[in-house]
Amino acid sequence: MSYEVPQLEYGFDALAPSIDAKTMEIHHGKHHAAYVAKLNAAVDGTEWQDQPINELISNLQQLPDSIRAAVRNNGGGHANHSLFWEVMSPNGGGEPTGELLDKINTAFGDFSGFKTSFSEAAATRFGSGWAWLGVQSDHSLYVCSTPNQDNPLMTGVVDCPCIPILGLDVWEHAYYLNYQNRRPDYIDAFFNVINWDKVTHNYNQSIVQSTAEVAS
């Protein structure tokens, strides 16, 4: 069983004008596909080829030196993009409700404070990388960013201690066709398509997961 690029649950043009169809097509069909192909080339035929992707990237230290960098870059790329497609929706935008909004208010003052904090993390990430909203071990929310295709789950490798529930790709390939050098405009537009139902689902899952880890 090899890793596969997940199907989008919406059309390439569904997120326009926030994210244009050509960018989505190339990003999903070429960039994500390349990470998956290189990940498979690294792990096919090894004992790691069947691990759930988030488990694989959570345990980089256990991998042999010969494939660790390839899994970090391309397994990270696969995990990050798989999350990214799911946390966007043509029906997205607005604000979350319920417990997730309460947690945002506690951590950032209010939703606008969260938006400022997340946007700053995304805008100030030098070069290529990702901005994240995640859940810390005490169940509070946390904003951070990582370089390249690093993911917060790469504990001990990456200084971003949380389980990610929302991620934004700030590599130029994610926005350059439409926004060129205007990364802040792309970040603004992302807020129009955030799928808060999915982020809420991820939040609930992360609480279950971190509670189980503490108990074990």
Binding site for Mn ion (CB under 5 A): 169, 171, 174
Amino acid, single-letter form, for residue 65: D
Shortest CB 80 distance to Mn ion, Å: 7
- Is 43 in a helix, a strand, or coil? helix
* Residue listed under structure tokens 């004008």: 17
Instruction: Identify which of residues 83 and 143 has a Cβ nearer to Mn ion in the complex.
Output: 83
Angle between helices 196-215 and 98-108 (to 10 degrees): 80
Q: Using the minimum distance from each CB to Mn ion, give the nearer residue, 63 or 174.
A: 174
Residue reference for tokens 């966007």? 88
Instruction: Kindly state the smallest distance separating residue 151's Cβ from Mn ion, in Å.
Output: 13
Minimal distance in Å, beta carbon 25 to Mn ion? 13
Between 108 and 132, name the residue whose CB sits nearer to Mn ion: 132
Determine the residue with CB nearest Mn ion.
169
Q: CB 149 → Mn ion: shortest distance, Å? A: 8
Q: DSSP letters along 119-175, please? A: HHHHHH--SSEEEEEEE-TTS-EEEEEEETT--TTSBTTBS--SEEEEEEE-SGGGT
Residue 185 CB-density burial (10 A; 0-12 exposed, 13-18 middle, 19+ buried): middle
Please report how close the Cβ of residue 60 comes to Mn ion at its closest, in angstroms.
20
Closer to Mn ion at the Cβ: 95 or 172? 172
Contact of 144 with 121, CB cutoff 8 Å = yes
The nearer residue to Mn ion, 150 or 169, going by C-beta atoms, is: 169
